[in-house]
Chains A and B, each alone.
Chain A
Amino acid sequence: MKIIALLVSVALGVILLVATNDLPEWGDPQSPASTHLSRYYIENSMEQTSVPNFVTAVLADYRGYDTMFETAVIFCAGITVLTILRRSHRRKKKDVQPRPCREGQDIILKSAARLIAPMMQLFALYVLAHGHHSPGGGFQGGVISGASFILLSIAYDLEMLLSRLKERTIMFFSGLGVLIYAGIGAICLLLGGNFLNYSSWSKILQVSEVEARSHGMLGIEIGVFITVTFIMISLYADLASGGEMDEGL
């Protein structure tokens, strides 16, 4: 079996290496990407969308479909892990091993987590809101925000997190993010534009079309942020407790 796996990987590697011969040279100024595509984005993204960081502009506006289905893929991954791992019946108490960490003695950990988690959430919101001007955006901000909740649930335990944030709430919000993204696109249809063409939002927001695209990007980034945050919490809760939703790691 291992020999077959080796053969398959070697064959795939050879095919990929041969295929790289047809790619243009790295950094070749005559390649199609450098002559048409990149130049178009670099020259036009500022005046078309008024977003200085054109990575965000490409990701959220020009390639909006891709990002929408990426968000949907993350949502599907969360749903799949939940479906496979979640068990409603509990194991007997005998099988559950006691935690190696002694109770009541990890106060340093809890205090530090209480100190760090608000800073992480603030930084996540900064990354989300500042994604138009600097590296970052909804995905990275969502991951940082989800990590702050995971940090809290490691320092305390998972039951503490789940008593404040019900499973139903988590799944509601992770669906809500995708709904915000697709809804912003669908309202564009109702306003007479194309799907995910945010410039038609200018009729509602009373701004110019260029600024409407910028605001639309912020809206969909907020949708991505919400989905990624709550899917990360859901993934951690399912994987760390084996679907039991008990004390976790």
Chain B
Amino acid sequence: MSMYLNTIVVLFTGIGWIFFLGATVGILRFPDFYTRMHAAGKGDTLSTMMILFGFAAYQLHHPDLASLLVAFKIVFIAVLIFITGPTATHAIMDAGYGSKIDHWGTRDGSVSHCLIKEDERS
């Protein structure tokens, strides 16, 4: 029983660490603001949720009521992150778009990626 539970815990937290690594590499290596926010938002949310689920599974080693309560609280934090993380990413992205940060590829003037016209942006 404990063996299977440990496997689940290691699996969840390991996947979480891998996604965290991907998010960090993405933030450092992606070329512009929008793609970096893409990496930060998606990778952070998923990896944090995975690690938290791993922690919640670890609490089930002692199946009494107090551990179950702690596991439930951790799952609740995961739900909260599932709501707030993407929303915060969207808000930052929207603010960056509103303050006219250039896309990748517009700096050398070759491609114009303006999705809305200039007079609508203000």
Contacts and interface: CB of A to CB of B under 8 A. Distances in A.
Interface residues of A, number: 12
B80 interface: yes
A109 B95 CA distance: 12
Interface string B64-95: 00000000000000001001100100110011
B2 interface: no
Given A108-B90, A109-B90, A115 B83 contact: yes
A119 B80 CA distance: 9
B122 interface: yes
A102 interface: yes
A20 to B, nearest CB: 39
B98 interface: yes
B95 A112 contact: no
Interface in A23-75: none
A98 interface: yes
Nearest to A115: B83
B85 to A, nearest CB: 10
B83 A106 contact: no
B16 to A, nearest CB: 23
Interface in A131-170: none
Contact of A116 (B83, B94, B95, B99): B83
Nearest to B98: A100
A105 B122 contact: no
B117 to A, nearest CB: 13
B95 A100 contact: yes
Interface string B94-115: 1100110000000000000000
A151 to B, nearest CB: 10
12 contacts: A98-B122, A100-B95, A100-B99, A105-B94, A108-B90, A109-B87, A109-B91, A112-B87, A116-B80, A116-B83, A116-B84, A119-B80
Q: Which 4 A-B pairs have the closest CB atoms?
A: A112-B87, A100-B98, A108-B90, A109-B91
